[in-house]
Amino acid sequence: MSSRERYTRMFPVSWEQLHRDSKALAWRLSEMPDIRGVVAVTRGGMFPAAVIARELDIRVIDTISVVSYDWQDQSAEPRVVKPLAIESDGEGLIVVDDLVDSGQTLRHVRKLLPKARFATVYAKPAGRPAVDVFITEVSQDTWILQPWDSEHQFVQPIAKLRNGEGE
């Protein structure tokens, strides 16, 4: 399935919104006992993990890099390209990513860290079973445009586009 067929909606997220949503996730996680460390799934989980670690006053932070897609193509099998620096079965760890789409990345990490808890800022229906806690659910056909993947730029007014000006 092409990305045009798969993603028919766009959900742009600003840095401010991502910060607020990450902080809301930290509030939910603060109710969980015995969180001693944060694992960010790179790259998307790095910003939310930093906010969560700050809010929960956690100093043990690690990353795991799992590649399972290239932009909008999610056909690849997940593979770890940077493992954890610490050895763990996941007990006392919260694994953080920006979003869960199909769930294949987090299911792969869960095999490596079976006792960890998993949290994402955004979740899609197909991926929800792979995550323990999330803040916002979006439809499966929505592309979440994160702030690191976009920039502000001038856009022509609709009236000018309709008149064929400024394309």
Rounded Cα gap, residues 167 and 155, in angstroms: 10
Q: Judging by DSSP bridges, how do beta strands 61-67 and 79-82 pair with one another?
A: antiparallel
* Active site (annotated) includes residue 21: no
Q: Is 136 helix (H, G, I), strand (E, B) or coil?
A: strand
* Per annotation, catalytic residue among 98, 132, 141, 149: 98
DSSP string, 62-119: EEEEEE--BTTB--SPPEEEE--SS----TTEEEEEEEESSSHHHHHHHHH-TT-EEE
* Active site (annotated) includes residue 97: yes
Q: Which residues are catalytic?
A: 97-98, 101
